[in-house]
Structure 1
């Protein structure tokens, strides 16, 4: 059995394994990584022999680490990367090419309906009624979408929000606040099975699920990289932030909001961005943290989105899809019973 894992920003690791009686009796690791000395590869392979087929990433990585000599040097990959490739070979983990993704780009919806749809599509995937899905958002009404655990009064200035007609919506994922006006940012949600991120830490899964985004940005002339836990940045400044929620069965909701043409003055009247957060980002001005994609590409927002869709389609098996009436009905129900209620919006006052 064979499995592969491409380290985000690193190298490809492939694992060919043979099982007998629930144990690995042969293992051969290969790839375009760098490893010194040559004999270290034999130590990695030997460490996998005798490991159970049900071994988790941590167990496999520990066995490999114990077998390596102190001077063995791995460049472009890690022992965890080897373990993930092995897990994929054994059928416990999946790769991008193991799935066919559905792509949805619906007409404008209320921001509160978008956060409800995120939950609905994650539940539909978990129930086996829909495949992995990439969904781009469109909206008209301005809003601030805050993270599941953020304090409403600490994040949003009610006077500024009222002055600019901005509603406040709370999503089910963590992370920070999103200031959203029609046309000022690009937002998309990715719903995938837990098997796609099997063995990855939460931190690793952010970069892994957004690796295609860096490629799409390169297509439109923006050189970008992951920064910190969940930010995507260019040399000119921050471009985007990501957030995640994992359902009980492991299904992952991952979404990204990317600055396109932010009105920084208005944003600062609506959001309360504390000094502690600014210092953590290495800047004294929130304006400097928001670097619009428009200024770096010269493209219309719609053109950037189309380029992103084209990149995703070229990279992964993708079919165009649409929201089902039953999904819309469920989302509208959740707006009434959860996301549109004062109780949910103020659950962290």
Structure 2
């Protein structure tokens, strides 16, 4: 098996592994992994599988055309034909130069007002002070998102309390190429795969702030009067979709004296570096075809647009040495960065505030209550949430704690 990687300038890492027959050396399978996103579909893994199969017989460009014909709604973010071709060439031993990001006039975007879509949102903040396992958090995300998709729950915001250190890898990432698993075990970190794309998250409970937003799909409708691909009647995708979901937190951070901007595709940044990153996934109402085998039934007509799960992890503080001890960050991944050290690229929130991590979490929740127009707060342990918690516990045990799920891409 031969591996090649290529970093899309200003985008995502794409990697391929060539599986060849031991008998005759013929190519039998091409597998893809990386920190790219596939948005707009219910089962991103199925899109990757279709692409992998197509690559055996045609060029990367033709394979992507086949994917678009099969999944016309799919938005491939950070996954390009050139990146796939270059990764395959490298796997075959061809010397392909890494590409530095070209100069651009695009600047990090400041957010000073919410989009009108927030005015139409009736949002519930789930107050959940209980530290939960990494697998339970993954499961809660899926269960809550499916409840919103099925019209059983309205728009919801949840702040996480981490019960243990963890490395959370993206849906399309290779566990062995992203994590030093032996070192992670020695240091007490659990490795869990989430159901959204993007890169690995290094989590220490006292150093990390995470929240999830679960909204109806209609929340990402383009604003009337806009033109082009995001015109009236269209759904936002890629950067505009990520930005809309995080408008509230940019306002909240700025209100708390923390300078924060949005950087395409999915990063929250300060003038000194990266604060955090986002990932998201869409769910169709009543969909029972989840890659995790989760059955969601009983959708009403009002849930026809399904839902969007959007979650964000921000660094309050960081133990850079420990992070680099646990994560495997390839040279290619940093190829287009002006700052070549992964540790130096992070600017934790602590550098801009005297609040403790817990105080800042509480302040962000209070800000959410103030900046989002229609908000109410409910305790997660309220009796009517018991079924949600029970479903999440079962899912955490069956899927997110399983080796089969975590190691679905070795």
Matching residue of 2:377:
320
TM-score by length of 2: 0.61
Residue 216 in structure 1 maps to residue 272 in structure 2: no
User: Take 1:263 and 1:240, find their aligned partners in 2: how far apart are those partners?
Assistant: 15
Matched, 1:104 2:126: yes
Contact 2:251 2:371 in 1 (8 A): no
Post-superposition offset of 1:307 = 1.9
> Of the candidates 204, 214, 230, which is equivalent to residue 240 of structure 2?
204
User: Which structure carries more relative contact order (alpha carbon 8 Å, separation 6+)?
Assistant: 2
For residues 62-100 of structure 1, give each alpha carbon's deviation from its aligned partner in whole angstroms, at most 9, with x where no partner exists: xxxxxxxxxxxxxxxxxxxxxxx9xxxxxxxx8211121
1:112–1:340 contact (8 Å) kept in structure 2: yes
Aligned partner of residue 303 in structure 1, secondary structure? helix
The answer to whether 1:296 aligns with 2:337 is no
Match of 1:95 in 2: 117
Higher mean Cα deviation, 158-167 or 253-262?
158-167
TM-score calculated relative to the size of structure 1: 0.71
Q: How far apart are residue 216 of structure 1 and its match?
A: 1.0
Q: Report the counterpart of residue 208 of structure 2 in structure 1.
A: 185
Q: Does the 8 A contact of 1:145 with 1:179 survive in 2?
A: yes
**Equivalent in 146, 154, 157 of residue 131 of structure 1:** 154
Task: State the alpha-carbon separation in 1 of the partners of residues 262 and 175 from structure 2.
Answer: 28
* Counterpart selection for 1:332 from 381, 390, 393: 393
CA contact (8 A) 1:175 1:243 kept: yes
**1:342 correspondence with 2:403:** yes
How far is 1:325 from its partner? 1.1
Q: Is the 8 A contact 1:140 1:181 kept in 2?
A: no
Alpha-carbon displacement from aligned partner over 1:247-285 (angstroms, at most 9, x marks no partner): 124410000000001111101111111122223333211
In structure 2, list runs of 5 or more residues that go unmatched.
1-114, 222-234, 286-305
1:231 aligns with 2:267: yes
Q: Which has the larger radius of gyration?
A: 1
How far apart, in 2, do the equivalents of 1:179 and 1:274 lie? 16
CA deviations 1:109-152 (Å, max 9, x no partner) are 10110000000000111122211111000023111111111110
Find the partner of 2:145 among 122, 138, 160. 122
Are 1:147 and 2:170 matched, yes or no? yes
Q: Distance in 2 between matches of 1:189 and 1:255?
A: 4
* 1:273 and 2:334 matched: no
Structure 1 residue 201: deviation in Å?
2.1
Q: What is the Cα-based RMSD across aligned positions, in Å?
A: 1.4
Residue 246 (structure 1) aligns with: 282
1:159 aligned to which of 182, 195, 208: 182
Secondary structure of the residue aligned to 1:320 is: strand
1:241 is paired with a residue whose SS is strand
The 8 Å contact of residues 105 and 137 in structure 1, kept in 2 or not, is answered as no
Secondary structure of 2:244 counterpart: helix
Work out the number of aligned pairs and report it.
257
